[in-house]
């Protein structure tokens, strides 16, 4: 849950807990090409004085225009018109309101920035980009990698813990899956064990599809960067639902082989 909690060691300090956030496509430097991102720092003419100004100010107020610039820079890959087709932010894929905040006729920094970071289409595009990139556009279960002529990957970014149940839009709560496997995963007909083996309900999965699973020793393909692997806390919740729905059913067998 989000909120503030006092530091037991120093009552004057607080810890901030954030349960939901939108991760930037890239880090935004506090100074780029000699220009500071914050108006308060840009107003300091004597550069050595910047360090003195920052002492004891790890949390600082941002001007609305600066905040907007930082957000737009951080989401520059997701919001790049060149990527609209591959990320589902093109005119054919978004509603009128989403299109209006992606291509505003007039600039309202605060309102547009807030609308962008909470918009589901934008968040899905950001999530999809990060997850598909982590898995190199390859389905983690079948190993298939299909990219069309426009550069759009066939794989989809699946949430392990659904957003509707508090799942965050972070790579560790995602996995790249082809459309059919995504459908099976969302309906808990397959899941992932603690050892990253694929769990299936045999009587509900066509044998032709299970044969694709076996090509990879029944283990999901994981990102090269282990920091991006699915987090066990999210997998456990998905696995519990899978077991509740499948174990004990007549003629059903849950298996990882």
Residue 149, domain member (yes or no): no
Choose the weakest-confidence range: 25-34, 56-65, 186-195, 217-226: 56-65
**% of the chain residues with pLDDT over 90:** 52
Our count of domains for the chain comes to: 2
The answer to the question of residue 106 being in a domain is: yes
Average pLDDT for 182-192: 93
In a domain, 15, yes or no: no
Residue at 141 is within a domain: no
CA 82 to mean position of chain CA atoms: 20
CA separation for the pair 94, 116 (Å, rounded): 13
State the residue range of the domain holding 102: 21-118
Mean pLDDT of the chain: 86
pTM: 0.82
pLDDT digits 0-9 by tens, 89-126: 999 999 999 999 998 887 666 678 889 999 999 999 99
5 lies in some domain: no
| pLDDT level of residue 168 (50, 70, 90 thresholds) | very high
**Is residue 65 situated within a structural domain?**
yes
Within a domain: 193:
yes
User: What is the DSSP track for 121-149?
Assistant: HHHHHHHHHHHHHHTTT--TTT----B-T
Q: Are residues 33 and 110 in the same domain?
A: yes
Which among 61, 96, 118 is the end of a domain? 118
Predicted local confidence at residue 253, as pLDDT: 45
200: region left, alpha or beta (phi > 0 left; psi from -120 to 50 alpha): beta
**Contact present, 180 and 204 (Cβ < 8 Å):** no
Domain boundary among 118, 145, 173: 118
Residue 13 covered by a domain: no
The predicted structure's pLDDT at residue 184: 92
């Amino acid at each position: 849950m989000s909120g503030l909690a006092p530091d037991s060691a120093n009552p004057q300090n607080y810890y901030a807990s954030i349960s939901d956030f939108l991760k930037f496509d890239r880090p935004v430097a506090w100074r780029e090409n000699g220009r500071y991102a914050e108006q308060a720092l840009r107003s300091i003419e004597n550069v050595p004085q910047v360090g003195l100004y920052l002492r004891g100010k790890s949390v600082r107020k941002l001007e609305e225009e600066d905040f907007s610039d930082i957000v737009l820079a951080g989401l520059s890959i997701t919001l790049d018109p060149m990527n609209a087709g591959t990320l589902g932010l093109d005119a054919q894929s978004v509603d009128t309101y989403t299109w209006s905040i992606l291509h505003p006729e007039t600039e309202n920094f605060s309102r547009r920035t807030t609308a962008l970071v909470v918009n589901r289409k934008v968040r899905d595009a950001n999530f999809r980009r990060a997850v598909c990139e982590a898995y190199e556009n390859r389905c983690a279960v079948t190993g298939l990698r299909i990219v069309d002529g426009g550069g759009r990957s066939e794989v989809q970014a699946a949430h392990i813990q659904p957003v509707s149940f508090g799942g965050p839009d972070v790579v560790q709560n995602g996995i790249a899956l082809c459309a059919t496997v995504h459908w099976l995963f969302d309906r808990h007909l397959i899941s992932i064990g603690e050892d990253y083996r694929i769990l299936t309900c045999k009587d509900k999965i066509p044998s032709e599809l299970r044969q694709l699973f076996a090509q990879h020793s029944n283990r999901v393909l994981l990102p090269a960067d282990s920091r991006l692997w699915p987090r066990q806390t999210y997998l456990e919740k998905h696995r519990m639902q899978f077991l509740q729905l499948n174990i004990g059913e007549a003629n059903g067998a849950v298996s990882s082989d």
